Amino acid sequence: MGKLILILFSLFFHFNLFSQNNVTDHIYKKIDSINLEFKLYKPDSFNPKKKYNTIILFHGGGFNSRYADQFSRHSKYFNTRNFIAITPVYRIKSLHDTTPQESCDDAKDLIEYLYSNADKYNINKDRIFVGGGSAGGLLALSTTFWKVKNHKIKGLILYNPIVDTGPNSAFSKRRSGNYSLDISPINNINKKHPPSIIFHGSLDEMEPINKIKKYKEISSKYGTRCDVIIYPEQGHSFFNKQEFFIKTSEEVDKFLSSLGYIENR
């Protein structure tokens, strides 16, 4: 793991060493005057004749705020693992007066766009992973059940995700009792659910840790892998801190290695 830690520290202190030519902007959806875009991060050793494992990372913000660059550091980490990384934006309430369901529609449409254009972006569509933080974690989970067609996500990498939007959930309490079972991940687990890893703080109030444990319990009943790593005394969004960026990235390495998608360093 020593080499990985050196890489992660290098990413933190020397972002300017990455060629800007390896980060490009693209539009995946247009709605009237709204353009929804994503950034695509290529490995430094990018070969246009190859197809790459790909990770899509949805930012958090409670479906109300936009943190488009939240996962730029993580994207560059994935580049070192020879992954293409994609960080999309989606419609949010503060900008578009939309609901979480419309954000889920955008996540679905992004996946379908990337599958349809996999060759254009050098994406191996048989090796697509999805991840995100908080509300973005819910969006990542939604890509496994929300109006899903033929695509299949290979794995989920989730940072303090919202897993319950049903009645009596922390999500519904923040919305004056309004709830939605149709986009609630904990209510839509099935036997086709891909392997997942969840990073969560023990003091998280946005999605209490007992709900994450319940999510893992239900996943296990369906025979699907769900690794949960709990960080003591940490609250929501803890993973944005440099210390936990390194720690969670080490665990991502182990997770992907156990699935046979990278060689553990």
The mean pLDDT of 111-137, rounded to a whole number, is 97
Beta-carbon count within 10 A of 161 CB:
30
Q: How do residues 197-235 score in pLDDT, each as one tens digit?
A: 999 999 999 999 999 999 999 999 999 999 999 999 999
Q: pLDDT value at position 180?
A: 94
Q: How do residues 86-102 score in pLDDT, each as one tens digit?
A: 999 999 999 999 999 99
b/e per residue, 2-19, with b = 16+ CB within 10 A?
eebeebbeebeeeeeebe
| Residue 20's pLDDT band (cuts 50, 70, 90) | low
Average pLDDT, the chain: 92
Q: How do residues 138-194 score in pLDDT, each as one tens digit?
A: 999 999 999 998 888 999 999 999 999 999 999 999 999 989 999 999 999 999 899
Q: pLDDT value at position 4?
A: 59
Q: pLDDT value at position 174?
A: 93
Q: pLDDT value at position 243?
A: 96
Q: Which residue ranges make up each domain of the chain? A: 2-258
> Global pTM?
0.92
In three state form, how does the secondary structure of the chain look? CHHHHHHHHHHHHCHHHCCHHHEEEEEEEEECCEEEEEEEECCCCCCCCCCEEEEEEECCCCCCCCCCCCCHHHHHHHHHCCEEEEEECCCCHHHHCCCHHHHHHHHHHHHHHHHHCCCCCCEEEEEEEEEEECHHHHHHHHCCCCCCCCCCCCEEEEECCCCCCCCCCHHHHCCCCCCCCCCCHHHCCCCCCCCEEEEEECCCCCCCHHHHHHHHHHHHHCCCCEEEEEECCCCCCHHHCHHHHHHHHHHHHHHHHHCCCCCCC
Determine the topology of domain 2-258 in CATH. Rossmann fold (3.40.50)
| Residue 13's pLDDT band (cuts 50, 70, 90) | very low
The answer to whether 186 and 215 are in contact (CB under 8 A) is: yes
The mean pLDDT of 75-89, rounded to a whole number, is 97
